Copies of this chain bind each other. A is one copy, B any other.
């Protein structure tokens, strides 16, 4: 099945919705943002102005983008003739399930129905549909217009061709879709993040390092490494010519022993208090806006440097002409 994607519907005008909106527009789509906020028009235009300069591939012109933008508070009208729906409602199963019941009833049959949920299983979100497998998770990372990963998660029994269409669409956007074999709580990236955070909190709780030191350790070692190669490739190369096999034979037993010594912190009041106090100290003297600007400057610099090594931008001529 081949369909051109020309029109997209974004549900919700929060941070994630605005990231998607800006990226979709920058790739040449017509975008309808469905939001009932009284100030939706201003919020969406502000979001586009904020995100457009850092759209991967050299940025985009907000004034050009908004020529293809519509704000549509009525869901049915927002879905009329749409090719893709990307939903970013609050992270609440009742809300999303009810919403997708209405979306499926009103959207064209060929439209991709995608949810940005970071935690809800697709079969639960699609429970009110005749075919619950029609709703797919398309979970981005914040900032959604910038970070390449999209976790595409399907319900058991979902049509593999549908999943492939969704992955193709995200690739066409310039994203890196990954399709896990099944949904597990937290999907993949957030589970990994949570595992690292657990040990981070343990080490601060035990007084081995401060919040500020822990962050510095990550940024100046393993973060750099993992922006370059994943953990398995890192150890595959760490094993020299013998690869991961050599590395695991050499260190596998020690690995399991090391895991037994990792922390299992409790998030009790004293722990929360310690983390918060140290965070306040670590970030004192810089406003939230300054910290965000620093982060985004670094993030953009890293992404640009990597993109220059491996150019994967969609060609202008491909805009609006992707096969899905």
Residue from B178, B200, B217 in contact with A216 in the complex, judged by beta carbons closer than 8 Å: B178
CB neighbours of A227 from chain B (8 A): 219, 223-224, 226-227, 298, 302
The reply to whether the CB of A6 lies closer than 8 angstroms to some CB of chain B is: no
B223 pairs with A230, CB closer than 8 A = yes
Within 8 A of B (CB), among A267-324: 267, 272, 275-276, 279-280, 282-283, 288, 291-292, 295, 297-299, 301-306, 308-309
Interface centre among A214, A222, A252, A276 (most CB of B within 10 A): A222
The reply to whether the CB of A130 lies closer than 8 angstroms to some CB of chain B is: no
Complex Cα distance, B193 from A234, in Å, reads 11
B193 pairs with A231, CB closer than 8 A = yes
Nearest Cβ distance between residue A311 and chain B, in whole angstroms?
13
Q: Give the oligomeric copy count.
A: 2
Say yes or no: A208-B184 contact (C-beta < 8 A), given A148-B221, A236-B283, A309-B298. yes
The reply to whether the CB of A36 lies closer than 8 angstroms to some CB of chain B is: no
A binding-site residues for B, Cβ under 8 Å: 141-142, 147-149, 151, 176, 178-182, 184-186, 188-189, 191-200, 203, 206-209, 211-238, 240-241, 243-245, 248-249, 252-253, 255-256, 258-259, 261-262, 264, 266-267, 272, 275-276, 279-280, 282-283, 288, 291-292, 295, 297-299, 301-306, 308-309
